[in-house]
Amino acid sequence: MFVDVAKIHLKAGRGGNGAATFHREKYVAAGGPDGGDGGRGGDIIFKVDDNLSTLADFRYKRKYIAEDGQKGGSNRCTGKSAPHLVISVPRGTLIKDAETGRIIADISSDEPTVIAKGGNGGWGNTHFATATRQIPRYANDGKPGEELDVCLELKLLADVGLIGFPNVGKSTLVSVVSEAKPKIANYHFTTLTPVLGVVRMGEGSSFVMADIPGLIEGAGQGVGLGHEFLRHVERCRLLLHVIDISGSEGRDPIDDFEKINNELKVFSEELSERPQIVVGNKCDLVDEEEVERIGKYFTDKGYAFFPIMAAIAEGTKELIDHTAATLATLPAIKIYEPEVITENIVVDFKDKQTFTINYRDGIYYVDDADWVDDIMNKVDPDDYESLQYFERALRSSGIIKALEQAGAGDGDTVSICGVEFDYVP
């Protein structure tokens, strides 16, 4: 089964905790702190694998979790960083935030892309030693890795896309002009998956053609497999619109053309404006006057028109030569740029402290202060010097002053980041 959309959960590795240890050696007095830092958690990295053509593997495995970093050791030994988790996807896979739809990355180049970063390792107690605090008994915990749900969406990379109703000869055309071998038969929806073929124009010159499975009326609203296949046309620089000029199935080829173009417009206004070449296939089944009549309709509308007999490769050379010449004038294949988050930017607490004081049910709550988590990670509630460090941080950030202004007094309960303690002025 062809699968081109999948939703998965990513969780990068957590950083290892720092160590709170002290140097102990015979005949060495007051060795001092020697706790090492924790190792970094593993990143989750996506890379292209050209041997893959679908996202089928992601139907069965939905959670990808990288390893955590190792904790620090004594004697200033840093914990081992975790290996990165590398996920292979087909070329042309878009990675989007599942909640917002924001494009995170377009996996179309050979360069691996980090999607979820592992957490940094915590500092060992050696980092907290000062002239006045010579025996810190606390260390940092490792930071959690990034965790998010993402949608994978495959949009094939092709220069040219073949579009049109089922059974008009698209698969036959791609089979005679390229090395692709799609299934060909005289019934609708013979092709159930997009097929890529390389059209070689000579040494060092070629382009990629995609046989997009037959569209039907209503495809723009998702009728049939409309959306599943239309998304693969979005990157194409040029469209070859194949029509059955003979109307062998009782349809009018001009009406077919207009209906498919309407579906493109419903799906994407930008896609409907993509350059098109009209290909009139099966012209051996009608007389020359009918071919000229239909051809005139399209040329009058500004389209290049090529009558062909794909089954015997009649007229295909002229079509391919014109296609290559047209491609030379068009921009490169579209690569989607990551969408930058412009709202809810987290500000480093060292630069700006944001918080609110709320009084509920006899407790003073310090809310909207996620940045305090970075301070809390450094605090050991059983260590006096650690608590002093915590108090200095609260004073310098303005929280103590705000609590006083809100009316907090001696013995009142204050809650910060889920931790409650008695306020002492």
pLDDT digits (tens, 9 = 90+) for 178-219: 876 755 545 444 445 678 888 988 777 889 998 887 565 544
Which residues lie across from 65 on neighbouring strands?
11
CATH of the domain at 213: 3.40.50.300
* Strand, helix or coil for residue 358: strand
Distance CA 418, CA 398 (A): 19
* pLDDT confidence of residue 145: 92
Specify if 350 maps to a domain: no
DSSP bridge partners of 414: 364, 421
Q: What is the CATH number of the domain that holds 71?
A: 2.70.210.12
* Per-residue pLDDT tens over the stretch 60-87: 899 999 999 999 999 899 999 999 999 9
Does 132 score more than 60 pLDDT? yes
Q: Count structural domains, the chain.
A: 3
* Same domain as 20, residue 96: yes
Q: Is 335 contained in some domain? A: no
Indicate whether 268 and 368 sit together in one domain.
no
Q: According to the model, what pLDDT value does residue 242 have? A: 94
Same domain, residue pair 51 and 189 = no
d(CA 171, CA 375): 63
Q: What is the CATH number of the domain that holds 390?
A: 3.30.300.350
Q: Based on the fold, state whether residues 133 and 259 are members of the same structural domain.
A: no
- C-alpha Rg value of the chain to the nearest Å: 32
Q: How confident is the model at residue 241 (pLDDT cuts 50, 70, 90)?
A: very high
- Torsion of the alpha carbons at 61, 63, 66 and 72, rounded to the nearest 10: -140
pLDDT of residue 197: 86
CB 162 within 8 A of CB 212: yes
pLDDT digits (tens, 9 = 90+) for 306-318: 999 998 999 999 9
Residues 150 and 176 in one domain: no
Q: In one letter, which amino acid is 71?
A: K
Residue 389 lies in a domain: yes
Mark whether 164 and 118 lie in a shared domain: no
Are 308 and 174 found together in one domain? yes
pLDDT of residue 192: 53
Question: What is the pLDDT confidence band of residue 414, given thresholds at 50, 70 and 90?
Answer: confident
pLDDT tens profile 88-121: 999 999 999 998 899 999 999 999 999 999 998 9
Range list of β-strands (E), 70-204: 85-89, 93-97, 103-107, 113-116, 147-154, 160-163, 195-202
Q: Are residues 136 and 165 in the same domain?
A: no
The answer to whether position 346 is within a domain reads no
Classify 113 in phi/psi space as left (phi over 0), alpha (psi -120 to 50) or beta.
beta
Position 349 pLDDT exceeds 50: no
Q: Has residue 351 been placed in a domain? A: no
97 occurs within a structural domain:
yes
Single residue among 128, 154, 180 that ends a domain in this structure: 154
The answer on 222 and 110 residing in a single domain is no
Round to whole Å and give the CA distance between 410 and 425: 6
Domain boundary residue, one of 111, 130, 154: 154
The answer to whether residue 340 sits within a structural domain is no
β-bridge pairing 276-281 and 238-244: parallel
**Do you know the residue count of the chain?**
425
Please determine, for residue 124, whether its predicted confidence score (pLDDT) is greater than 60.
yes
Query: What pairing do the DSSP bridges indicate for beta strands 356-360 and 363-367?
Result: antiparallel
Residues 91 and 17 in one domain: yes
Cβ distance 82 to 39 under 8 Å?
yes
Closest CA to 355 of 366, 344, 343: 366
**Does 348 map to a domain?**
no
- The reply to whether 68 and 190 lie within a common domain is no
Domain stops at, among 124, 154, 184: 154
Q: Distance between CA 263 and CA 341 in Å, rounded?
A: 32
pLDDT at 159: 92
**What's the sign of the alpha-carbon dihedral 343, 347, 352, 355?**
positive
For residues 308 and 384, membership in a common domain is answered with no
Residue ranges making up the domain that contains 39: 1-154
